[in-house]
Amino acid sequence: MSATRIEVAGERPYPVLVGEHLLGELPRLLGDGVRRVLVVHPGALAASAEQVRADLAEQGYEAVTAEVPEAEDAKTAQVAAFCWGVLGQAGFTRSDAVVGLGGGATTDLAGFVAATWLRGVRVVQVPTTVLGMVDAAVGGKTGINTAEGKNLVGAFHPPAGVLCDLAALDSLPVNDRVAGLAEIVKAGFIADPQILGLIEEHAAELREPDLDGGARPVLRELIERAIRVKADVVSRDLREAGPREVLNYGHTFGHAIEQVERFRWRHGAAVSVGMVFAAELARLAGRLDEETVARHRAVLEALGLPTTYPAGRWDRLLAAMRRDKKTRGDLLRFVVLEGLARPTRLEGPDPVLLAAAYAEVSRERAV
């Protein structure tokens, strides 16, 4: 099948290409005038990064690689400084570029490095996970973590383009694939209910270790639908001044889980519980019906994602949420639903409601 092209509009428009064997499109996205390219990648993708580097070298680029730690361990000031050092030693100028090859943490880091080197150079993202394709690599939000919280240091820096090469998903561990599906479920609840119907019909196939048969086209459709949801929102609000906040559905509580668990939880698993928390909070606040709350649990559990979190950790979770970048002063802010595909904000909810919502998600220990 040919590649699908999804345009992200705005002040700096760019394409997201979805298909298979797309690396031949990389020079076109890098654009004219680029001489040097840094390929940022985790160790597990060293062979793929070397292939990208060699392909770029054959086409006349001065290409170098920078191997960074896996997952959230890459998103630190120390790792960013290492990448800046590579750029400096290789003589990168403002007309050169960075390529982020890997999962969401790698693309977050690569985007941040590109945003901060010489106050901004071009970046092309090549996500290799479901999470990276539908969330982290699209939208221009870049960032690193600190000891105090996730993504507290960052910049808005749209990429020059995104290559979602679905062939990369063939070697992705099934647990990572399923965790990435949480962000697709999010897109279904906030904007595109057809996503939920597809998952309800094909959940068992999507959980299989191999993407054979009908699962492959279904996954592609889910990825494309989720990217379109994000592209539509980001096109209207790059800097999260208003509409873009809906993309944080499930993330306030989810990021708190990640912080309390010291990033031992997969992002998608934490967001899964975060969506159930947000749904329960909306129900308790009189915003959302019980049927839609129950559908959250049913869809997520059908994929094998967690919907509960252990009791006894509320104080730590609340402290983490108060440090979240979406908080304004002492006012906690949550994205909630008033119905299917009807997101809104809930600001400064009663602490009693927050504790009650936590009680609803902590009735059973998370699997």
| Residues acting as catalytic residues | 119, 141, 183, 230, 240, 244, 248, 251, 255, 267
> Would you say 334 and 251 are in contact if contact means Cβ atoms under 8 Å apart?
no
CA distance 62 to 90: 9
Q: Report CA-CA distances (Å) from 18 to 1, 131, 211, 227, 347.
A: 10, 14, 16, 9, 37
Q: Give the H or E element holding residue 325.
A: none
Considering Cα of 228, then 229, then 230, then 232, what sign does the dihedral take?
A: positive
> Would you say 208 and 174 are in contact if contact means Cβ atoms under 8 Å apart?
yes
Beta pairing, strands 122-127 & 161-165: parallel
Number of C-alpha atoms within 13 angstroms, CB side, residue 14?
24
> Would you say 249 and 185 are in contact if contact means Cβ atoms under 8 Å apart?
no
| Best CA proximity match to 245, nearest among 150, 328, 177, 159 | 328
DSSP 172-213: S-HHHHHHHHHHHHHHHHHT-HHHHHHHHHHHHHHTSSS--T
> Would you say 125 and 86 are in contact if contact means Cβ atoms under 8 Å apart?
no
* b (16+ CB within 10 A) / e for 52-86: bbeebeeeebbbbbbbbbebbebbbeebbebbbeb
